[in-house]
Amino acid sequence: MASYRCSDGSRLEQKQIDKLIRKAKKIKVQNQFDEFGYNFCEECGISNGTFLDCSHDISVKKCKENGKTEQAFNVGNITIRCRECHQKHDKL
């Protein structure tokens, strides 16, 4: 199975990365909820009637290519976005 490099030289398999990303997203959503009492899109502020995604600022693909795979599950690299803002972000 392919593995991807972290900046400390260690390597992670896709299976491990997926698990860590799931965990980071959960923490991100929980942190926002704890701080504000509800979840919302960090770009436009919409909070209901829409589906919220956890979107990567630096894409997972880029993190792997840069040999900084740990960025993929860094909570600071994840922004909560509504579908619309997520699509806009991914096009840039």
Binding footprint of Zn ion on the chain (CB under 5 A): 41, 43-44, 82, 85
The 8 Å CB, 24+ separation contacts for 38-42 are 39/80, 40/80, 41/80, 41/81, 41/82, 41/85, 42/79, 42/80, 42/81
Nearest approach, Cβ of 54 to Zn ion (angstroms)? Answer: 13
Nearest approach, Cβ of 43 to Zn ion (angstroms)? Answer: 4
Residue with smaller CB distance to Zn ion, 9 or 49: 49
Nearest approach, Cβ of 7 to Zn ion (angstroms)? Answer: 31
Residue with smaller CB distance to Zn ion, 12 or 85: 85
Residue with token string 């096009």:
91
Task: Concatenate the DSSP letters of all residues of 57-78 into one string.
Answer: SS-HHHHHHTT-GGGGG-GGGE
Residue with smaller CB distance to Zn ion, 13 or 57: 57
